[in-house]
Structure 1
């Protein structure tokens, strides 16, 4: 079964690029323009990796990452921040497992995706799911 990646960004063009690149590389991708329902998406989609932008309207991806890492149902899912915001270099302080600065190379994205999904069991069950 293909590894699952949830990509959250308020830029539809970025999401289209992520979806295309990752799907071609064999991943199952779900995208979202808003993190408003990210908890439900995580429970329903069971991603092996979350790609998260920082600036998304009134939402701050770093704060969302910190919240995800403090919850039992999502704490073990790797989160990679993808952004052009300078605060990306503080991502680890919010619990992020890595970051990719925009603009990014396709090889960088695919390498990070492979690194963080390797060895993960797709379809795992969570205690609260």
Structure 2
């Protein structure tokens, strides 16, 4: 089964490029222009990796990353922050991101990081046991 990647960015062109390149590389990709329903997307899509921008209108991807990492059901899903914002350098230490990719980015960098963080993962989302 193909590894699943959820990409969230408010730039449709970036999402199109991510979708195309990751799909060609064998991933199943879901994209979103807004993190408003990210919890539902995680529940429904069960990603093995989340790619998250920082500045998305009124949403701050770093704060969303921190919330995901503090949530029992999504904390085990790797999150890579992709941004040109200088605050990206605090993403791992302060917000719990698993990695960063600076925009503009090289496709090989993206594909190598995606492979690193999805290797050996069977599923992303973990439901609580009843």
Give the TM bin, normalised by the shorter chain.
over 0.9
Deviation at 1:126, TM superposition (A): 2.0
Q: Normalising to structure 2: TM-score of the pair?
A: 0.96
CA distance in 2: counterparts of 1:126 and 1:84, whole angstroms: 33
Hey, what does 2:36 align to over in structure 1?
Answer: 36
Map of 2:103 onto structure 1: 102
Which contiguous aligned blocks of 4+ residues in structure 1 show a shift greater than 4 angstroms?
Answer: none
Normalising by structure 1, report the TM-score: 0.96
For 1:8 and 1:104, the matched residues in 2 are separated by: 16
Following TM superposition, by how much is the alpha carbon of 1:127 offset from its aligned partner in structure 2, in angstroms?
1.3
Give, in angstroms, the shift of residue 123 of structure 1: 6.8
Deviation at 1:122, TM superposition (A): 3.0
The answer (yes or no) to whether the contact 2:82–2:103 under 8 Å persists in 1 is yes
Q: Verify the 8 A CA contact 1:52 1:61 in the aligned structure 2.
A: yes
1:58-87 residue CA offsets vs partner (Å, 9 max, x unmatched): 000000000000001100000000000000
Paired position in structure 1 for 2:47: 47
Structure-1 residue corresponding to 2:25: 25
Q: How does 1:37-116 map to 2 (within 5 A)?
A: 37-92=37-92, 93-116=94-117
Q: How many residues align?
A: 128
Q: C-alpha deviations, 1:78-120, integer Å up to 9, x for none? A: 0000000000000011000000000000100000000000000
The unaligned stretches of length 5 or more in structure 2 are: none
